[in-house]
Amino acid sequence: KAGVTQTPRYLIKTRGQQVTLSCSPISGHRSVSWYQQTPGQGLQFLFEYFSETQRNKGNFPGRFSGRQFSNSRSEMNVSTLELGDSALYLCASSLDRGSIGELFFGEGSRLTVL
């Protein structure tokens, strides 16, 4: 069974640009959660999508958005990038809602904003 796949793995952007990250969950998983990981703030919850609907959102500005498609694949978008957006963005999938059971994480997309 294939694991969670995130693309791209690494990317470099400049301030003001926008970026889209993609996440393919494990087959059959309906929930996709996104986390931002930085050395200073640790793992911060961004949002959760379940059956194509955003079910939860963390404390991030509106520049951070996401969506989930009918095949459960998810994308997150960050517009007007700032230096502080440099981070490892992790996607996790699960069978049911995010906190009920085990999360399966992808390897992450490492974003560097110059």
Partner 1 sequence: SQQGEEDPQALSIQEGENATMNCSYKTSINNLQWYRQNSGRGLVHLILIRSNEREKHSGRLRVTLDTSKKSSSLLITASRAADTASYFCATDGNDYKLSFGAGTTVTVRA
**Binding of residue 61 to partner 1 (CB under 8 A):** no
Q: Which of 16-24, 37-45, 60-68, 72-80 is the region at the interface with partner 1 (rule: CB under 8 A)?
A: 37-45
The DSSP code for 65 is E
Give the nearer residue to partner 1 in terms of CB position, either 65 or 79: 65
For residue 27, is it left (φ>0), alpha (ψ between -120 and 50) or beta?
beta
Residue 15 makes CB contacts below 8 A (sequence gap 6+) with 81, 82, 83, 113, 114
Identity (one letter) of the amino acid at 64? F
Size of the site for partner 1 (CB under 8 A): 27
Any bridge partners for residue 55, and if so which? Answer: none
> Residues 43, 71, 77, 82: which binds partner 1 (CB under 8 A)?
43
Q: Which parts of this chain interact with partner 1 (CB under 8 A)?
A: 4, 33, 35, 42-43, 45, 48, 55-56, 58-59, 88, 90, 92, 97-108, 110
